Amino acid sequence: MLNFIRRDRPRQVVKKKITLKHIARELDVSISTVSKALKNSDEISQDTKEKVQAFARLYNYKPNNIAISLKNKRTKNIGVIIPDIVHHFFTTVFRGIEQYANEKGYNVIVCVSDESFDKEVINMEMLANGSIDGFIMALSAETQKRNDFNHLREVTEQGIPLVLFDRVTDEIDCDKVLIDDEQAAFDATARLIRSGKRHVALFTTEGYLNVSSKREQGYRKALVAEGLPVEEALILRLPYQFEEESLSEAFFRERRFDAVLCVNEIFAVRGMRLAQGMGYRVPEDISFIGFTDGLLSRYASPSLTSVAQHGERMGAVAAEMLIEKVEQEYDETDRKSYRTEIIPSSLVERESTALG
Amino acid sequence: MLNFIRRDRPRQVVKKKITLKHIARELDVSISTVSKALKNSDEISQDTKEKVQAFARLYNYKPNNIAISLKNKRTKNIGVIIPDIVHHFFTTVFRGIEQYANEKGYNVIVCVSDESFDKEVINMEMLANGSIDGFIMALSAETQKRNDFNHLREVTEQGIPLVLFDRVTDEIDCDKVLIDDEQAAFDATARLIRSGKRHVALFTTEGYLNVSSKREQGYRKALVAEGLPVEEALILRLPYQFEEESLSEAFFRERRFDAVLCVNEIFAVRGMRLAQGMGYRVPEDISFIGFTDGLLSRYASPSLTSVAQHGERMGAVAAEMLIEKVEQEYDETDRKSYRTEIIPSSLVERESTALG
DNA sequence: TATTAACACGAAACCGTTTTCGATAGCCCC
DNA sequence: GGGGCTATCGAAAACGGTTTCGTGTTAATA
């Protein structure tokens, strides 16, 4: 009597999803027969198959994902944990992940750690209990600062694949995908010097971020490589969300530099603006290069030469590495070996640097 | 013999998750006893409870989410489908969703429709088979253009709660949360006029986007309300990702306008730049107001007066509405009534408009 | 005519929980 | 000493699938 169409809700007919059991009942066969018929198993007669398949189509049968996950012990979900989502770089990486994952039939569960260690841990634990087949993550600032990676260790010890990107740690053995931050900073700095600049300043963040320090290293090495002194006074460490004033005007007024490498777009754009406000010309008097080639770089005036980090590529690679691990988990009794991929970045030249 | 610790992997001990069954075996009690003991049921003796709980703690037992989902027919996941993720507004909305959902113990699965109807449909179908308890979505451009909402209808008919935000449709009966686009455009336009501008131009997108046309309406009404003529020649329809040239210089050279309302940041920033390049002063000669108060508005020079849309608020409200529906689904034999919430936007005044 | 193989299907176990409904044992009481 | 309680636990069904392993029927073969 088609009793799976519930009509007990008052004014709205709710067509509940139908199950194998319903089909079996209606067609007076067993559940296993239905299951096999839908998979076109040759155990089942042509006749029965057609009956079942027609019925299933008619009532739009779709197998329940949860039940399949439980049976297969695979969810086809991957968990992504990032420090922030309102952030151009992470967003582009996420897009790369989502695209690749989707192609492969995976869904993506995102959690935002908000740069907090606790949230990172909680989110991981939530997802690690069967909700996902693997993790892709960038560590929160707090986690990097505390140097506590037990939550990661727990997960990998359980055999759950993990891919770290951008904000990684050496403490954990897993796949990683990185930006060549040091190299990029090196190249950008060298590029400034070769265009005739002699005093290159660095605007970086104060604090613990791995990436900033790598960029600083590249900057230093480039100076040395080009035979220039590292002038510590030209390295300005700014608070993350700094206000106009903190980019001290005095620093500009003295102006003992003719070019600036900035570890992000915002520092660069604000720097340019301050410089222009004080009558300097960009790039003639001061050149600027930023990191993170986002909207700001493109639309600033002058437009900003910037290190493009190809986040989307990074995300795709991370997803590829993860899914490979997830799927091999079930083939070979694996030999685990972990890779670290470096995603090359490139310098997008715009108006804030004079063409050397 | 603690046989749930598998040591058959070569060099890496894999501590597989333990289950009720394992605990039961080790402690020589039944699965039901273990389950009850862990829930502190008073059916179970203090003795047994302590034994079980201690064991569970020791081996870090956590119930399997998938199994629980199957049993409860609730996943504690919500599905979010948005047209794009590398997009400031959607990203902020997502953040609002994620935060609220997380507080309530829900996880968020994101799918990007990429403005494609087909992807939207596929993603919905994927998730609708048990993976999520409800949907939050903004329609893809193609969906809006085709006016085909059967996929939404299917889902709601199955009794799956749905909340639409920003890009919505009247065709579907469900909760909605909207920006007061028309009002915001009205206010912004009025604001320009009251500051003494008499010829306000509009830079909008060509095409079907619901939001753009609402903003245009508000713009038109404001002109009328202020007793000014609507000059069609001052309405410029630009391709979505337009290049410098397309914002025709001629339009600026004639300059039959002294203020511009732009339906997004990018149009505004490019407009300002072009204007400045041609020697006009902003805001003295031409004032600018944009929509979407993002990084560009903040860091442009001059900084851009912009309509802030409070995406985070919007996301939080959407999540709240959805979760309410999801949870009531299981209480009352519901009286479904759908709400439409309007999230007020506000004008963030910056340098691109003269203080009226 | 007895044996056997192919065919078509169903029973049951399983994935990991929760929960209902006994069932057993010990104890008190009359 | 039997009836009734309570305390403590286990069996089993259920969620919705997949899959292994029968099993009964029929037809082909010796």
Whole-number pLDDT of residue A11: 43
Burial of residue A254 (CB within 10 Å: 0-12, 13-18, 19+) is exposed
Which residues on chain B are in Cβ contact (under 8 Å) with A130? 17, 64-67
Q: Is the dihedral of CA A286, A292, A293, A296 positive or negative?
A: negative
pLDDT value of residue A7: 42
Contact between the CB of A63 and strand D at under 7 Å: yes
- Which of A10, A63, A270 lies nearest to residue B129, judging by beta carbons? A63
pLDDT value of residue A247:
64
> With a cut of 70, which residues of chain B have pLDDT below it?
1-13, 208, 240-247, 329-335, 355-356
Determine phi and psi for B284, rounding to 5 degrees.
-55, -50
Q: Specify the pLDDT at position B5.
A: 46
Question: What residue in B sits closest to A80 (Cα-Cα)?
Answer: B109
d(CA A255, CA A280): 10
CB contact under 8 A, B123 and A102: yes
The DSSP output letter for B16 is P
Distance in angstroms, CA of B35 to C1' of D1? 38
**Cβ contacts of A304 within 8 Å, gap of 6 or more:** A265, A268, A269, A272, A288, A289, A290, A296, A297, A298, A350, A351, A352
CB B190 within 8 A of CB B226: yes
Structure confidence at residue A8 (pLDDT): 44
Question: What confidence score (pLDDT) does residue A329 get?
Answer: 67
- Please give the residue of chain B at the shortest CA–CA distance from A270: B299
B50 touches strand D (CB under 7 A): no
D chain positions with any atom within 7 Å of a protein CB: 7-12, 14-22
Smallest CA-to-CA distance from B297 within A268, A299, A277 is with A299
All residue ranges of chain A with pLDDT < 50 are 1-11
**Please, what are the domains in chain A?**
1-63 (1.10.260.40), 74-179+312-345 (3.40.50.2300), 181-310 (3.40.50.2300)
